[in-house]
Amino acid sequence: MTAKIFPTAQDAENAFYEALESADLEAMMAVWAEDEEIVCIHPTGPRLAGQEQVRQSWAKIFSGGARNRVHVTHQVTLSGMMMEVHSVHENFALEDDAPGRGDARPAPIVATNVYLRTAAGWRMIVHHASPAPGQAEPAPRETGHKILH
Amino acid sequence: MTAKIFPTAQDAENAFYEALESADLEAMMAVWAEDEEIVCIHPTGPRLAGQEQVRQSWAKIFSGGARNRVHVTHQVTLSGMMMEVHSVHENFALEDDAPGRGDARPAPIVATNVYLRTAAGWRMIVHHASPAPGQAEPAPRETGHKILH
């Protein structure tokens, strides 16, 4: 159980990436809905479902010890009353990334994040991440935000 | 414009995979919401957003001419009033796949499909597909269905 309340899906998303950056397992799991139907796909990984598989996967990732900085860009938001979908690009940089090494940055990860409005605020129910090809975006596009309902 | 009405998200999903199997571009685009914020990520591909990019990508895929059979398994459904998320495994087999060649089947594609309830029935707004690793599922799990609201 946790006392964290995220008033908006964006608050939950911010907490998700903060937990990822600080490799904080409890903070990470506080973002997820307390639900057995949560789904998490790490880049090139299999589909994980349910609290146990999702927690184990983050524990393993965080046990590596490396702290990452993640810069989230190109957000497209699809908002419903009870569910919200964020499509984002995750741009990773290792903590020891020195300025001037920027040309060696890896290609972004494209992520689909789905949030659910629960009695305890907004929580993540799906995180699907996969490597984007190294090429540039197919077409430049403004960050979009669309309220559907 | 199209007259297709999908009374449920599952109807839209069935039409999506039928269009994919028959390489029918118009049937495929009839499944998608008429919305500029739709998002489509093909396996190992970049994020595509908006009608034009999504239509062009399917046109290119379908121009290859090969018809695929797709067997959808391991569905997990997260249902809201206006939005529904299906996590599925797509198991592809080429049309000329002879019986007995089953041992050479490729690893499944894991897909996150998001549907929106519109004035014209349920439509797809997100399709995020990525290759699952060749290994077995991390744990056997029953197909799940959860009504959230």
pTM: 0.84
B135 or A3, which is more confident?
Answer: A3
Q: Which residues of B touch A43 (CB under 8 A)?
A: 130
| Contact map slice: B 62-81 vs A, CB within 8 A | 74, 76-78, 80-81
Is the Cβ of B46 closer than 8 Å to some Cβ of chain A? yes
Residue located via tokens 């490396």: A66
Pairwise CA distance, residues A115 & A48, whole Å:
17
Q: Which residues of A touch B46 (CB under 8 A)?
A: 110, 132-133, 135, 137-138
Q: How many A/B residue pairs have CB atoms within 8 Å?
A: 141
The dihedral formed by the CA atoms of A79, A29, A49 and A44, expressed in degrees to the nearest 10: 80
CB-CB contact of A80 with B80 (8 Å) = yes
Lowest average pLDDT, out of A55-64, A118-127, A138-147, B13-22, goes to A138-147
Is the Cβ of B120 closer than 8 Å to some Cβ of chain A? no
Residue type for position A93: A
Pairwise CA distance, residues B122 & A73, whole Å:
29
Q: Note the pLDDT of residue B3.
A: 61
CA distances (Å), origin B100, targets B73, B96, B106, B135: 20, 12, 14, 21
Instruction: Give me chain A's average pLDDT, please.
Output: 84
Pairwise CA distance, residues A70 & B54, whole Å:
27
pLDDT in tens, A11-64: 999 999 999 999 999 999 999 999 888 999 999 999 999 999 999 999 999 998
Give B48's pLDDT tier (boundaries 50, 70, 90): very high
pLDDT in tens, B103-143: 456 788 999 999 999 988 999 999 999 999 875 444 434 34
Residue type for position A130: S
Closest residue of chain B to A79, computed from CA coordinates: B83
Q: Do A116 and B80 touch (CB under 8 A)?
A: yes
Domains and CATH numbers, chain B: 1-109 (3.10.450.50)
Q: Do A80 and B85 touch (CB under 8 A)?
A: no
Pairwise CA distance, residues A83 & A66, whole Å:
32
Sheet holding B39-41, edge to edge: B47-49, B39-41, B121-131, B109-118, B83-94, B68-79, B144-147
Q: Note the helical H segments in A25-82.
A: 25-31, 50-63
| A4 has pLDDT over 60 | yes
CA distances (Å), origin A34, targets A106, A116, A117, B93, B149: 33, 11, 12, 37, 15
Closest residue of chain A to B50, computed from CA coordinates: A141
| A78 has pLDDT over 60 | yes
Q: Do A141 and B46 touch (CB under 8 A)?
A: no
CB-CB contact of B86 with B145 (8 Å) = no
Name the residue facing A114 among B50, B114, B146 (closest C-beta).
Answer: B114
Is the Cα torsion angle B60, B63, B68, B72 positive or negative in sign? positive
Q: Note the pLDDT of residue B131.
A: 94
* Among B77, B112, B116, the residue to mutate for chain A (most A Cβ within 10 A): B112
Query: Which segments within A1-149 are labelled E, that is strand?
Result: 39-41, 47-49, 68-79, 83-94, 109-118, 121-131, 144-147
Is the Cα torsion angle A47, A14, A110, A87 positive or negative in sign? positive
Pairwise CA distance, residues A24 & A149, whole Å:
34
Q: Do A82 and B81 touch (CB under 8 A)?
A: yes
| Contact map slice: B 80-119 vs A, CB within 8 A | 80-83, 85, 87, 89, 110, 112, 114, 116
Q: Note the pLDDT of residue A94.
A: 63
Q: How far is CA B118 from its chain centroid?
A: 18
Tokens of residue B54, six digits: 């999504």
CB-CB contact of B41 with A112 (8 Å) = yes
What's the rounded mean pLDDT across residues B1-23? Answer: 90
Q: Which residues of B touch A87 (CB under 8 A)?
A: 39, 47, 49, 126, 128
